[in-house]
Amino acid sequence: MNKTVLRVLEIFELLSNSSKDMTVSEISKDLEIPKSSTHDILMPLLEKGYISIKNKKEKTYELGLKIFQISNLFQSKLEINQVVDPFLKELKEKTNNTVFFAVENNKKIVYLSKFEVNEGGIRTTAQLGSQNGLYYTGLGKAILATYSNEKIENYLNEIELYPRTEKTIVSKEVLLNDLKRIRERGYSIDNQEGEDNVYCIAVPIYDMNKNVLGAISMANLFTKITPQIVEQQSKMMIETALEISKKYGYYEEKLY
C-alpha cells in the first residue's frame, strides 16, 4: 500500500479513537511520523474537510464534517438499499435499461445504486459514489421539484448553471418552468442535459413524513426514445416510486 495513503488511514483511525482533539506534535509522536510529514498530510485533509481545527489557539485537530457525511451516506445506503434495490432489479429486468437510485447531498446527487444491463442497453458514466449536479440530471431535477419555491431560489442563488452539453438548461427561468412541468406530470426528464445521447426519466421517493429520501431513474439511448416509450416508462417509474415510498409509510397517491 502507498505509504502516504497508509498514513492518512492511520491518522483517521487515531483521531476517531482519541478521546480528545490532537496537535500535529501529538499525532506525529503517536504514529511515529516526522512532524513535517504529518503537517504535509494534514493540510490537504483540512482543505477538503476530512479533518477540522478544533482549537485555533492550540492548533488541535479532529475528524471533519466530510467524514461524518460519508459515514451517514454509507449507513443510509445499507438501510435504504435493502428496500430500493429489489425494485430496481425488477425494473432493469422488465425494461432492459440501466436504473439508478441517488440521494441529495450538499446540493448534488450521490449515486447509491446502479443496475446496468449487460447487453443492448445504455452505459452511462455515472458510477456508485460519484456525484452530479441537481439541475442537469433527471434524478436531481426530480428532487429539486419537491423543494419549496424559497428553497429553489436559494439553491439557484448559490450555484452557477454551466452547460454540461448543448442541451443543458442554463437559464433560471427555463429551469423554473421545467420544474413546474415536472410537478404537473409527476416525473422529470433529462433530455441529454447531463450526457450526450442519454435520456432519463426520474421520480422522487418519500418517507411517512413526506421527506424526500432520494430518487430513482431509468436511462435510455436518446435515439430509441419515442412518446410511447416515455409514457410507458414514466408510468412504470411512478408506480414503482409510490410502492417504495409506501414501504416507508408514505400514504399519498401522487408524488408531487
pLDDT digit string, tens, across residues 168-193: 999 999 999 999 999 999 999 999 99
Binned at pLDDT 50, 70 and 90, residue 202 comes out as: very high
Residue 121 has pLDDT above 90, yes or no: no
C-alpha gyration radius of the chain: 22
**Domains in the chain with CATH codes:** 3-63 (1.10.10.10), 81-247 (3.30.450.40)
The pLDDT assigned to 88 comes to 93
Residue 112's pLDDT is what? 86
Q: What is the mean pLDDT of the chain?
A: 87
Q: Is the overall model pTM greater than 0.75, yes or no? A: no
With pLDDT > 90 as the criterion, what percentage of the chain qualifies? 41
What's the N-to-C CA distance of the chain in angstroms? 49
- Please check the confidence at residue 78 and state whether its pLDDT lies above 60: no
Give the tens place of pLDDT for each residue, 41-61.
Answer: 889 888 888 888 888 888 888
Sheet containing strand 188-191, edge to edge, reads 131-133, 108-115, 98-105, 212-221, 198-206, 188-191
pLDDT at 118: 66
The stretch 114-131 carries a mean pLDDT of 71
The CA distance from 137 to 151, in Å, is 18
Residue 221 has pLDDT above 90, yes or no: no
Structure confidence at residue 240 (pLDDT): 95
Strands 22-23 and 51-55: what pairing?
unpaired
Lowest-pLDDT range of 92-96, 187-191, 227-231: 92-96
pLDDT exceeds cutoff 70 at 73: no
User: If DSSP states are collapsed to H, E and C, what string results for the chain?
Assistant: CCHHHHHHHHHHHHHHHCCCCEEHHHHHHHHCCCHHHHHHHHHHHHHHCCEEEEECCCCEEEECHHHHHHHHHHHHHHHHHHHHHHHHHHHHHHHCCEEEEEEEECCEEEEEEEECCCCCCCCCCCCCCCEEECCCCHHHHHHHCCCCHHHHHHHHHHCCCCCCCCCCCCCHHHHHHHHHHHHHHCCEEEECCCCCCEEEEEEEEECCCCCEEEEEEEEEEHHHCCHHHHHHHHHHHHHHHHHHHHHCCCCCCCCC
